[in-house]
Structure 1
Amino acid sequence: MATIYINNAKATYDDEIIAKLTERFNAKLKTYEIRKGDKYVEKLHKMGVTDITTAERTDILQAFEGENVDYVVYAEVQPPILKHWMSLFNQGYAATVTIPVKIIDVKGSKYIYNGKFTEQADNSAVIGGVGTKSAVMKAMDKIFVKTDELLVSRMPMNK
């Protein structure tokens, strides 16, 4: 199995976002031999596909042609939509996070899943004590509950 995780959040905590994404998906897919998909992203770029969310299934299958890969899992954290509010004594942030996910059965040449997950979370505290990171991470945790269910229900776990 090849995994492609992309972080387009463009936040100061980008490394933590990709680490959380990688850890969560890899934990659910631990029965598979997992390969990082960096070289396949490069192949897609050479094929003219610079935004993988727009890649067709056939483009992705072509990038994996001749490889010993049964499944591809692609997940991308898109830039969160952030809202800020303040009152007399506290402030807060709400974050809406969207993560498109594609799971492709390479050998069967079909999608197992092609969609996206969107969740919102917020965080508030006394003025000066809150930032966007906590709200973004909470929203990601909500998404992971759904992706966990997806992986358990759709992926063969006896590999």
Structure 2
Amino acid sequence: MKAKFWFIPFLLLITILMPCKNTSMASARKKSAVISIYNNLSDSTYDKDLDKVVQKELQKRLEGLYIELDNQPYASLIKKESLSNKDLSDVLTLLQGSQANYFVYLELLPFKKHGINYVAHFDKNMTASVFLWLVDLNQSKTIYRDHFSLVGKDSSPDWYIGNKSVALKALDGIMFKAGEIISAKLPL
């Protein structure tokens, strides 16, 4: 029985002593640089809470995979101005001279609320809308550009549901979708 397993310690020794090819820093992937801008046009009383949700999702999708460059010089130029009606040439002009490979632009549009009164309870629906634009700055082309919406729903027997809770519920869902698009479409 002892003679049958003599090769196991030998294999372990070879595995440990074998040089690893991908452990050096030189062989690590060169990360692409990204400028991400989030523009909140919802104009609500709870913008800070909405901003936290969006920033958390963007950070989760970009941190560690890309080098995030400072967006302040560019974000200040478009503060409270929509890029959804701009052309690619406008964005390329705006970001001219940056060291970024990619541009991620996310715009939160105003929420639409709908309430329905029933005899026994109250339903509230809030529609969150987002404009997402992914641009390859090296090749001067749009990777992804689209508006999409999601409805958050809540109901209560006491006819009181806060707009904030329903809006955050809708925003959580739409940011998950936006995050998935960023992960799937934005090249490493």
Using the size of structure 2 for normalisation, the TM-score is 0.74
Any unmatched runs of 5+ in structure 1?
none
SS at match of 2:67: coil
Q: Is the 8 A contact 2:155 2:161 kept in 1?
A: yes
Partner of 2:156: 125
Q: Which residue of 1 aligns with 2:38?
A: 5
**Matches of 1:51 and 1:116, distance apart in 2:** 12
Could you tell me how far 1:156 is from its partner in structure 2? Answer: 2.1
Summarize the alignment of residues 2-151 of structure 1 with structure 2, pairs less than 5 Å apart: 2-30=35-63, 31-43=65-77, 50-127=81-158, 129-151=160-182
Give every structure 1 segment of 4 or more consecutive aligned residues whose post-TM-superposition deviation is greater than 3 Å: 41-45
- Given that 2:110 and 2:128 are in contact with CA atoms closer than 8 Å, whether structure 1 keeps it comes out as yes
Instruction: Give 1:152 shift.
Output: 1.9
User: Aligned equivalents of 1:43 and 1:86: distance in 2?
Assistant: 43
- Structure 1 residues 128 and 94, CA gap change in structure 2 (3 angstroms): same
Q: Compute the displacement of 1:129 (Å).
A: 4.1
Change (3 A) 1:44 1:135: closer
Residue identity (%):
23
Report the equivalent of 2:17: none
Report the CA distance shift for 1:119/1:44 in structure 2 as closer, same or farther (over 3 A). closer
Provide the alpha-carbon RMSD of the alignment.
2.0
Deviations 1:73-114 (A, max 9, x none): 111110011011223342231011110000111111111111
Higher strand share: 1
Change (3 A) 1:97 1:36: farther
Alignment partners' CA distance in 1, 2:121 and 2:72: 43
Q: How many positions carry a matched residue from both structures? A: 154
Separation in 2 of the partners of 1:93 and 1:36? 39
